[in-house]
Amino acid sequence: MERINIATRSRTQAVDITAQVQEIVSRSPTKSGLVVVCSVHTTAGVTINENADPDVMSDVMEALARLVPRAGPYAHAEGNSDSHVKSSLVGSSVTVPVEDGELQLGTWQGIYFCEFDGPRRRRVLVQIIPGG
78 binds Zn ion (CB under 5 A): yes
- Near Zn ion by CB under 5 A, which window of 5-13, 22-30, 74-82, 88-96? 74-82
Which helix (H) or strand (E) is 12 found in, with range? Answer: none
**CB-CB neighbours of 42 under 10 Å:** 14
- Near Zn ion by CB under 5 A, which window of 65-73, 75-83, 90-98, 106-114? 75-83
User: Exposed, middle or buried: residue 32 (CB in 10 Å: 0-12, 13-18, 19+)?
Assistant: middle
72 binds Zn ion (CB under 5 A): no
- Compose the 22-61 pattern: x for residues touching Zn ion by CB under 5 A, - for all others: ----------------------------------------
Residues 6+ apart with CB under 8 A from 58: 14
- Near Zn ion by CB under 5 A, which window of 32-40, 61-69, 80-88, 118-126? 80-88
Which helix (H) or strand (E) is 38 found in, with range? Answer: strand 33-39
Residues 6+ apart with CB under 8 A from 110: 16, 18, 48, 49, 50, 51
Q: How far is the CB of 125 from Zn ion (least distance, A)?
A: 21
Q: What are phi and psi of 100, to 5 degrees?
A: 50, 40
80 binds Zn ion (CB under 5 A): yes
Q: Which is nearer to Zn ion, 37 or 85 (CB)?
A: 85
Q: Which is nearer to Zn ion, 8 or 80 (CB)?
A: 80
**Residues in contact with Zn ion by the rule CB under 5 A:** 78, 80
